[in-house]
Amino acid sequence: MTQATTRAVFLDRDGVLNRAIVRDSKPYPPASLAEMEILPGAPEAAKRLAQAGFLLIVVTNQPDVARGTTTRETVEEINGAIGRIMPISEFRVCYHDSADGCDCRKPKPGALLAAARVHQIDLPRSFMVGDRWRDIEAGQAAGCKTIFIDYGYDEKQPKNVDFSVGSLEEAARRILETC
């Protein structure tokens, strides 16, 4: 068996790389490429992490596809735009809704574990960065260090995060200081 030696930063998409659309203190994905806005400092933070040797893997839940309120094409168009701006190694998208019970939907760690197998990722030396409790729980279940970008959403909050920060820029600083 090959020893896992690659370090990765797993990134949620909406609220980490691009601005989440907040309605009634809850975050939602942009409904179109025109509505998508890259967060200030996110491209530079991603480049610094990649230059430090981390694979950048986006792990995102997009249940609006299963709910019929957006299309795969829209999700892929937004991912493509992000991928042209940032050095993302891979996008792993869960198109299911909670009731589907799949392993790839965060808070389950299936998408992180699958990426770890493909890329020989050393999970204890890797990080999950997210803005919701589901991201943090998935990272914890996969054995990663976790970084919570806290926007004060009106929803369940994560427990026992390794770091709580205000932006991907700050998360990148913490990661680079820790390594």
Catalytic: which of 12, 24, 100, 103? Answer: 12
Query: Does the annotation count 131 as an active-site position?
Result: no
Cα(39)–Cα(24) distance, integer angstroms? 20
- The order of strands in the sheet holding 127-130 is 90-94, 55-61, 8-11, 127-130, 145-149, 163-165
Query: Does the annotation count 100 as an active-site position?
Result: no
Candidates 61, 57, 56; CA nearest to 104 is 61
Question: What is the SS3 assignment for 53?
Answer: coil
Instruction: State the amino acid at position 164 in one-letter form.
Output: S
Q: Between 133-142 and 110-119, two packed helices, what is the crossing angle to 10 degrees?
A: 50
Indicate which residues carry an active-site annotation. 12, 14
